[in-house]
Amino acid sequence: MTGALRIGFIPLVDAAALIVAVDHGFTAAEGLDVTLVREVSWSNVRDKLNIGLFDAAHLLAPVAIASSLGIGHVKVPIAAPFSLGVNGNAITVSPALQAELMANIEGDRFDPMATALALARVVARRRKDGAEPLTFAMTFPFSTHNYQLRFWMAAGGVDPDEDVRLVVLPPPYMVDSLASGHVDGFCVGAPWNSIAVDQGRGHILHFGSDILGHAAEKVLALRQSWAEKNPDAVAALVRACARAGAFIEANRSDAAAILARPERIGVAAETIQRTLEGRLKISPDGTVRESAHYLLVGREQAARPDPVQAAWLYSQMVRWGQTPLSSNALRTAMDVFRRDIYETILGPVTGDNATKDGVGAFAGPSFDPADIAGHLNAFAISRWKP
């Protein structure tokens, strides 16, 4: 079939299908000899995939698109035939900022519009008092975390480029940066939000699914040229990940134990199991919040790549000035999410995700990939100008 494969990953719960596929023997059963390589930063994963040190990778969905478009780095076309995770992020804030937001909120604390407006009040008062701007961390400029933070802030009238500071941090460094006061909040994937809460260093303000009901988070990324030369290996890898996703849903405790190993995610299995169940402690006082859509791995068609998601991510790149609007670029972005490969290997899947427009944003108009300009025109805060 193929020689040994090296696949990079970041220690996050949305690498679950890939890790379980290898460690529970699903890749071996498909005739694949896979070595998983744990990395600390997304730039490392991207670069090693692009130059061929990795055959495949657990990768931020927007990075796969940016790489294919040649935005922010060299142009290397990427094929994503399998979605490793839908949703799974959260916005976590320091105890001090949590207290400020709650003191300024009008309405439901779990309503992202109410907290965005509270943030605007906090930002305005800090500016009036001559205080330093708030600092928020996200994992990469081309990340759903970045776009979720920006979407939430801008909905409340906070300009993420003018009113606060946004900085990039690798996921494992988020909690220590919050504890040291280097950042006031962050958006990251599991388990790092829960680690901040468990250590008494932060409060989970919002699940990512509060901001976007259905957000493509990580993909199984392959260089397009490699995928074309190794169709049998691609099919075997996709089948193994699909089997792993089903296993995770039926055996969350066993899956959590696999993921908790030091060489994988390296945190308590109980924390990972809570994540897989969508049952998260959101405050150090023990308050728990549950959501069946916090992280989707092996259910609700989460593994099937959705080109509408790719179009939304591209629209955010345009909105925040990372790339100009182009119909050709939009088509390239949508073509990264290879639903055709997925369905050729696993069979067609009927129906779409539960959100009406495929995205389910909490604010703004419904998303139409055929009218990116019209969609972006609806937002007052934007770097894109028609």
Give the span between the Cα atoms of 237 and 243, in whole angstroms.
10
Which structural domains are found in the chain, ordered by start?
5-86+216-268+298-377 (3.40.190.10), 89-211 (3.40.190.10)
Asked if residue 54 lies in contact with residue 8, where contact means CB atoms within 8 angstroms, the answer is: yes
Asked if residue 241 lies in contact with residue 9, where contact means CB atoms within 8 angstroms, the answer is: no
**DSSP for 245-288, written as a single string:** HHHHHH-HHHHHHHHTSTTTT-S-HHHHHHHHHTEEE-STT--E
Rounded mean pLDDT of the chain? Answer: 96
pLDDT tens-digit series, residues 141-180:
999 999 999 999 999 999 999 999 999 999 989 999 999 9
Asked if residue 30 lies in contact with residue 61, where contact means CB atoms within 8 angstroms, the answer is: no
**3-state secondary structure (DSSP) of residue 377:** helix
pLDDT at 7: 98
pLDDT tens-digit series, residues 70-116:
998 899 999 999 999 999 999 999 999 999 999 999 999 999 999 99
pLDDT at 314: 98
338: its two tokens: 């290879």
Residue type, position 282, single letter: I
Nearest by Cα to 201 from 227, 217, 182, 216: 182
Could you count the other beta carbons within 10 Å of the beta carbon of residue 378?
A: 11
pLDDT tens-digit series, residues 250-261:
999 999 999 999
What would the mean pLDDT of 296-303 be, rounded to a whole number? 92
pLDDT at 96: 98
Asked if residue 183 lies in contact with residue 169, where contact means CB atoms within 8 angstroms, the answer is: yes
pTM, 2 dp: 0.96
Give the span between the Cα atoms of 334 and 280, in whole angstroms.
33
pLDDT tens-digit series, residues 207-230:
999 999 999 999 999 999 999 999
Could you count the other beta carbons within 10 Å of the beta carbon of residue 252?
A: 18
User: Which pLDDT band holds residue 349 (cuts at 50, 70, 90)?
Assistant: confident
pLDDT tens-digit series, residues 37-74:
999 899 999 999 999 999 999 999 999 999 999 998 89
Asked if residue 61 lies in contact with residue 217, where contact means CB atoms within 8 angstroms, the answer is: yes
